Amino acid sequence: MEQRILGSTGLRVSALALGHSMGAQDFGTNAQQAFHALVHRALDLGVTFLDTSDAYWDGLHESWLGAALRGRRGEAVIASKFGNLTLPDGRKAANGRPEYARRSCEASLRRLGTDHLDLYYLHRVDPAVPIEDTVGAMAGLVREGKVRHLGLCEASPQTLERAHAVHPIAVLQTEYSLWCRGPAEAVLSTCRRQGTGFVGYSPLGRGLLTGNVRHYSDLATTDRRRIHPRFQDAHLARNLRLVDELQAMAAEIGLTAAQLALAWAAGRGTDVVPLSGTQRITYLEQSAMAVAIRLPQVVMQRLERLFRPEAVAGERYPADMLPTLGI
């Protein structure tokens, strides 16, 4: 697996990052054993960049990942996050208070069973706390050896610049796929100017670009994608027409639609790493193959014309969650 350097601080990672799936229940019976097998296969393939958060499965994802890495911690680059909260009424909130950053980091270290995080992200920017205060506290964790590199998620160019002035920000993570290009491309130039790498989550459009979702009813009643406008009936039919063309293009060159979408994302620059989640080892293996593919420029351009922003229907998040993005 190709290795890439993200940011000016020298963070070395695999060209594909493995993230979380929708929920622990997605792994079926013997779920934790299946999860461990997935992580071990990722390491065997050279997919060593492993992404988690204290928000995933209420911390259980970190606990399972830590257990899976016992005896293999030295092979992995662990990235975790803090500050993305779900309130009792289901609304989203952020917490970037300095004391919370420290408390969250120490809790993540315990769950993961490690003495340091290779990369620690602020999961969502807290509008009530100056970014300088939050990053200042995170920088303190670096000085203490609990964290090696710092990152931000879903931050605006202006916030990224302010944060970077306090401590080098190795990575900015934002949703990025053929289906969702605008937010990332708005901040990529800032990343490149100041030496910040880029991680793009949901490179398969939350699964839509695989072609496996054809109807809103295909989503389980507990599937959070049901609240996302792009999957709802008002927009899904229009989006599926783009997916159908993606599948046709992929068939022309002997790839799956998912592989073509991932190859595009990995081809956006050596400072860009797609972050994808799956429950199936077969899909993980196909993804690892995809990021090694170098698409001709004509194919890259054809894909970008097909998925031009105005061709995509619906917002990427529900209206009540949009204010928490790009702060």
Whole-number Å distance between alpha carbons of 204 and 201: 9
The enclosing H or E element of 65 equals helix 60-68
The answer to whether residues 228 and 322 touch, using CB atoms and an 8 Å cutoff, is no
Whole-number Å distance between alpha carbons of 66 and 73: 8
Whole-number Å distance between alpha carbons of 99 and 259: 42
Catalytic center residues: 56
Whole-number Å distance between alpha carbons of 145 and 163: 20
Going by their DSSP bridges, the two strands 11-14 and 3-6 should be labelled as antiparallel
Whole-number Å distance between alpha carbons of 216 and 230: 10
Whole-number Å distance between alpha carbons of 58 and 116: 20
CA angle 16, 20, 24 (to 5 degrees): 150
